[in-house]
């Protein structure tokens, strides 16, 4: 049995770097059950479930979520207690960075 913790599983607090909204902070939560990843983002008081998660090692290679009618792509790299990534749709890119909290 592999005792090394999965580098992407956990709860991560993040902040979008280039948004004008009032509340750019949020939480990214990723679970793994029976070999299947699931997750959601929480920001601005709402949970957004991640669909079609593709994870390779410490990379969230692709996923998407519905935000106000837009299908937003989400990618991230997890390194130790740090996460960096981006969310994008229709030519708009929103970078984020954060830390593991759980």
The yes or no reply on domain 10-100 and CATH 2.40.128.20 is yes
Task: Please tell me the predicted confidence (pLDDT) of residue 5.
Answer: 86
Across 74-99, average pLDDT: 94
Any idea what DSSP says for residue 57?
A: T
Average pLDDT, the chain: 91
Task: Please tell me the predicted confidence (pLDDT) of residue 54.
Answer: 96
Sequence ranges of the domains in the chain: 10-100
Convert the pLDDT of each residue in 40-60 to its tens digit: 999 888 999 999 999 999 999
Task: Please tell me the predicted confidence (pLDDT) of residue 9.
Answer: 96
Task: Please tell me the predicted confidence (pLDDT) of residue 6.
Answer: 93
| Token pair in block for residue 47 | 């949970």
Q: How far is CA 33 from CA 28, 30, 38, 73, 95, in A?
A: 17, 10, 8, 23, 28
Instruction: Match 């996923």 to its residue by tokens.
Output: 63
Helix, strand, coil tally for the chain in percent (to 5): 0, 70, 30
pTM, entire model: 0.89
Across 69-87, average pLDDT: 95
Cα–Cα distance measured from residue 53 to residue 38, given in angstroms and rounded to the nearest whole number? 7
DSSP-derived 3-state class of residue 47 = strand
Across 13-42, average pLDDT: 89
Q: How confident is the model at residue 23 (pLDDT cuts 50, 70, 90)?
A: low
């Amino acid at each position: 049995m592999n005792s090394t913790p999965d580098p992407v599983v956990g709860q991560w607090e993040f902040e979008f770097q280039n948004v004008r909204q009032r509340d750019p902070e949020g939480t990214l939560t990723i679970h793994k059950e029976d070999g299947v990843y699931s997750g959601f983002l929480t920001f601005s008081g709402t949970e957004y479930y991640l669909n079609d998660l593709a994870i390779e090692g410490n990379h969230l290679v692709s996923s998407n979520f519905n935000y106000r009618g837009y299908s937003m792509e989400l990618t991230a790299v997890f390194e130790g207690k740090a996460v960096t990534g981006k969310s994008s749709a229709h030519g708009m890119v929103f970078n984020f960075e954060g830390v593991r909290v759980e």
